[in-house]
A and B are shown apart, each in its own frame.
Chain A
Amino acid sequence: MSPTNPTSRRDFLKLAAISGVALHSSSFAAQLLAAQPVGPGYLTQEGANQSLVVIFLRGGADFMNIVVPYGDPDYPAFRPTLAMNLDAGLIKLDKTFGLHPAMASLQPLWGAGQLAPIVCAGSMHSTRSHFDAQDWMEFAAPGDRTVRQGWLNRYLAITEPPKAKASDFRALGMQELLPRSLRGNYPVLAVPRSLTKKKSSSTLDAFERFYGEGGTDMEGGAAMSGEREADAAGVVESGRITIETLRRLQEIVAASDKKSASQSVSGSSYPDSTFANRLKQIALVLKAGEGLEVSGLDYGGWDDHSQEGTVDGKMATRLRDLSSSLSAFCQDLGPALARTTILVMTEFGRTVKENGNNGTDHGHGSTMLVMGGGVKGGQVHGDWRGLKQDALYQGRDLAVTTDFRDVYNAVLENALGFEPPKDFFPGYKPNKMKTLF
């Protein structure tokens, strides 16, 4: 079977559904797949050729000091050493909110109506554990430890037959390990930093005999223990997918490199950072037009319990890198930006009141950012209820007035043309965000 044979991935999914054998322990999408008639009914034409990039800020970013409610009369008192106002350089978004000055590079996008913050967004679950909160947001199943398949992976698995061409390179995690949102039965490549270039393809060739299609039954009998053990744990499957998808990526990167070398430079300049380099690689694949629908990338280090800083400082440094990278990415995409949606999120907000060490502790409601061509940006979305004691969650944190799954729902529908079927998000009653796109 050739590596790009359309039936190969699909067979794998079906196999996963039947046997429960999967790369990862759960087969939630497989169950959905079996239960739901999969057909083009979920898909709209507008979704074709569109792409979603999800950036996860790990550690619980203090979004209240990123999209800052400077106009809320109670804000300064909660943040005696951390508050910022327009005089400090906040970029005015409206009469209540201003954007952190370190994010000035995103101002043109805001001006062009391509940046939409959704304030007081997050998970209704009360957890303040980073690890539960991240899991539950990325598996999109708050409080349910049995769902172990990422929401983006479920999307990919469910839409495989009607949506994608066999040759499509649909998804990637642009880092050494996948974000949880991309984990699951649908094979998604975690892109190794050093191996996107063709010159490393000989390694893949050498191991094809050990991991490639077929060959399990060489001696006519049942596979013997060593291999059976590795098989059961998904190692062989993972290796096979590695070979298939990495080869395909190497082709795409080589072709895209060639193309961009022959074209004039697009004028975008990425900062010199790991995050920027990874975004640049995503742009390369996106511009290649090979069907990339979903990509994921993490940005770590947002757990600012102490010395968070304001206009300058630890968080500002990260914000500067984040936003100048994103700004360069959007420029780099050029016309493709119209078909690209970027979602920036974190696991929870932080305490409204700063803590005793010029930092903030784990809180509840946060902000999500949606950027790109289709979004109704240039306005702040979400329901802000102020910072009076009775408006706060448990008297200390921002309340969640927009369930993060409302945003997922809207993004899936508008950015990818996919209307999630019932129970795509377990236990969730869909609530349409009418104004976001």
Chain B
Amino acid sequence: MAPRSHASSPAQDDSSALNERERAAHLLARLAYGPRPGETKRLIAMGVEKWLEDQLQEQDSHDPRLKTWLSEYQTLGLSVKECAEFTYTQRVDKKTPSQEEQRAERIKRRIPLDEVVWSTALRAVYSDRQATEVMAEFWRNHLNVSFTKGQNIYSMVPDYERSVIRDQVWGSFPAMLVASATHPAMLTYLDNHLSRRPPSKQELKEIERQTERKTGSKERAVEAVQIATQRGLNENYARELLELHTLGVDNFYAQNDVIALAEILTGWTIEGGRKGSQAFHFNAAMHVPGDIKLLGKRFAEDKEKGPGQGMEVLAMLGAHKGTADFIAMKMVRFLVADVPPASLVKEVAKTYRTSKGNLTAMLRTIVDSEEFWSRKNFRTKFKTPYEFIISALRVTGAEIDRQASIGNYLAEMGQPIYHCDDPTGYYDTADAWLDPGVMALRWQFATDLALGKVRGVKIPETFFDQIPYDAPPRLWEHHLTTLILPGGAGPRTRAALATVTSEYLDQKGKRVPNLNQIGPTLVGLLLGSPEFQQQ
């Protein structure tokens, strides 16, 4: 049995290398949502390199339970059109539906939302391809779309999550960028599907004529023209495409570039209507014609009357030095440190440029770097609420059922899945999350989880079987610390746990202590400890 002092690593200065156990803990903290029971040991046994290889080779989890659960979802594999049809309720007659019918329609419409949110959490907790889940979360935020946009986006998100995020995680950024730019969810979320050139005089006349013919009213015709006159450019997507998706704010571009890009992207819309494909569609009639100058370069009109001009712009942005720098900075900040080491950012940007934005290659550069493994960056990054909750569920081997209420906790902590209103996505640095007060919510969750008070979530009794049956009660807290904080605990945390244990044992007097009584209390405290808040 390990002596007590092994619960923490000995005092180290920043220059000393991480030991084997710390390396395993670090890798699982950064490229996974922490270990599930037994995983730290398994990683040490198989070695860092083999673990990484497995992670980067394929994205699908082998976990049989997860496979079964995912297969039970109805909308995850559907295209946007299929999903829209799935959630659509055909009304048999025209009379107003009863309240009950309306309720049923609402529930049906919400199915994709619930399934996307749920499957995201389930995968993060159970998947044995954790690096995919971690990077998927990174891209979900980088190319944020949100259910808060409204009901018409619900049926688009399952396909977005699958084809833009998951399928591209180990592909290339330029390809992912095109996938997002041509996806109905992004076009809707940032309003580009509505953006068009203002109508010509001739078109307005035509509208007037047709409206008058249809309605027989001159007034209605004038009204229709007034409304039509208003149709035009929407800058929303063009701005965020430059600011948040590629170059970074006010980097290389100015307001006139935003307008130019908005013009180039007019006509990038969705083939809508009941009969439409619900897929990306270039509508030449909505497009501002002609060559357009952007970032000092002329982009020629597509002679085929297709989206060629915009595609060229996306290719230019995907190959831009500014994009390489920006994506590299964000990846390093996400995986290494809130203040990303400049040397590593430079290396990763170089990989971006030489590999044409290959995301696997960029990740490799990070994981192979000195900076990644430096003690300076060991357990120094504050977990986001999502990372905190998912890692707590994993480390305790918690079983969660579909009705689990972890969504409520995430919402109260300010990070509900796929509900970030702002196109920035959720931030990943401590200054966005570490306000006084937030710790109280984490302690509440830690305590609730450990004591079995989170609805639909249960830590299995076998969790405590990991502690040797003959371990003396005074060492229970030591064993639990090793399980929950594989990187070790500081002296205050250890002393605090020892006090709790002592109080329990004193109170027991001569009666036999019971791990099932004190164990959950200790687990709750460990999950709420300062050390567990860090990755």
Contact = CB atoms under 8 A, between A and B. Distances in A.
B403 interface: no
Contacts of B315: none
Contacts of A132: 249-250
Contacts of A117: none
Contacts of B494: 218
Contacts of B229: 80
Interface in A169-211: 173, 176-178, 183, 187-195, 200, 203-204, 206-207, 209-211
Interface stretch (B51-59, B60-68, B193-201, B325-333): B193-201
B175 to A, nearest CB: 26
Interface stretch (B93-101, B356-364, B441-449, B461-469): B441-449
A344 B12 CA distance: 50
B490 A223 contact: yes
A230 B530 contact: yes
Given A81-B230, A192-B440, A241-B436, A227 B235 contact: no
A204 to B, nearest CB: 7
Contact of A131 (B230, B249, B414, B440): B249
Interface string A320-362: 0000000000000000000000000000000000111111011
B92 interface: no
Given A210-B496, A226-B488, A238-B436, A80 B194 contact: no
B487 A226 contact: yes
B8 A225 contact: yes
Nearest to A175: B414
Interface stretch (B82-90, B375-383, B508-516): B375-383
B470 interface: no
Contacts of B20: none
Interface stretch (B41-49, B425-433, B471-479): B425-433
A358 B232 CA distance: 9
A41 interface: no
Contact of A227 (B249, B378, B414, B530): B530
Contacts, number: 243
B155 interface: no
Given A194-B444, A245-B437, A357 B231 contact: yes
Interface in B228-249: 229-236, 239, 243, 249
Contact of B531 (A206, A226, A246): A226
Contact of A224 (B249, B380, B447, B491): B491
A39 interface: no
A210 B493 contact: yes
Contacts of B203: none
B279 interface: no
B528 interface: yes
A427 interface: no
A236 interface: yes
Contact of B438 (A81, A130, A192): A192
Contact of B9 (A130, A218, A222, A226): A226
Interface string B198-236: 100000000000000000000000000011011111111
A239 B435 CA distance: 9
B11 interface: yes
Interface in B259-315: none
Given A225-B12, A394-B255, A192 B239 contact: no
A233 interface: yes
A225 B9 contact: yes
A23 interface: yes
A148 to B, nearest CB: 7
Contact of B421 (A127, A222, A301): A301
B499 interface: yes
A231 interface: yes
A142 to B, nearest CB: 13
B434 A362 contact: no
Interface string B492-535: 11111001100000000000000000000000110011110110
Interface residues of A, number: 78
A301 B190 CA distance: 13
Interface string B97-118: 0000000000000000000000
A207 B434 CA distance: 17
B179 interface: no
Q: Which of A127, A148, A242 is the most central at the interface, judged by chain B CB atoms within 10 Å of its CB?
A: A242
Nearest to A241: B436
Contacts of A242: 436-440
A223 B492 CA distance: 8
B437 A210 contact: no
A262 B432 CA distance: 40
A227 B492 contact: yes
Given A131-B422, A362-B235, A190 B438 contact: yes
B489 interface: yes
Q: Which of A210, A221, A225, A362 is the most central at the interface, judged by chain B CB atoms within 10 Å of its CB?
A: A225
B172 interface: no
Given A195-B441, A207-B443, A357-B195, A306 B234 contact: yes
Contacts of B493: 210, 226-227
Given A131-B424, A210-B528, A224 B9 contact: yes
A128 interface: yes
A229 B437 contact: no
Interface string A148-173: 10000000000000000000000001
B437 A183 contact: no
B390 interface: no
Contacts of A206: 443, 447, 524-525, 528
B355 to A, nearest CB: 29
B392 interface: no
A216 interface: yes
B401 interface: no
A405 B456 CA distance: 50
Contacts of A178: 435, 437
B414 A231 contact: no
A357 B194 contact: yes
B395 interface: no
A233 B434 contact: yes
A356 B233 contact: yes
A176 B530 contact: no
A80 B9 contact: no
B3 interface: no
B414 A176 contact: yes
Interface string B8-33: 11111000000000000000000000
A190 B485 contact: no
A235 B380 CA distance: 10
A215 B530 contact: no
A3 interface: no
Interface string B134-158: 0000000000000010000000000
Contacts of A173: 435, 437
B530 A224 contact: no
B226 to A, nearest CB: 6
B347 interface: no
A359 B487 CA distance: 52
Given A176-B438, A216-B492, A222-B11, A128 B444 contact: no
B39 interface: no
21 contacts: A80-B226, A80-B230, A131-B424, A173-B435, A173-B437, A177-B438, A187-B436, A195-B440, A203-B440, A215-B492, A215-B496, A225-B375, A225-B378, A225-B490, A226-B489, A229-B534, A233-B382, A233-B430, A234-B434, A235-B533, A356-B234
Given A204-B443, A239-B439, 16 more contacts: A24-B434, A129-B250, A131-B424, A206-B525, A206-B528, A209-B496, A216-B491, A219-B495, A225-B11, A225-B487, A233-B434, A235-B530, A300-B421, A306-B191, A356-B230, A357-B194
Interface of A: 23-25, 58-59, 80-81, 126-132, 148, 173, 176-178, 183, 187-195, 200, 203-204, 206-207, 209-211, 215-219, 221-236, 238-239, 241-242, 245-246, 300-301, 303, 305-306, 354-359, 361-362, 394
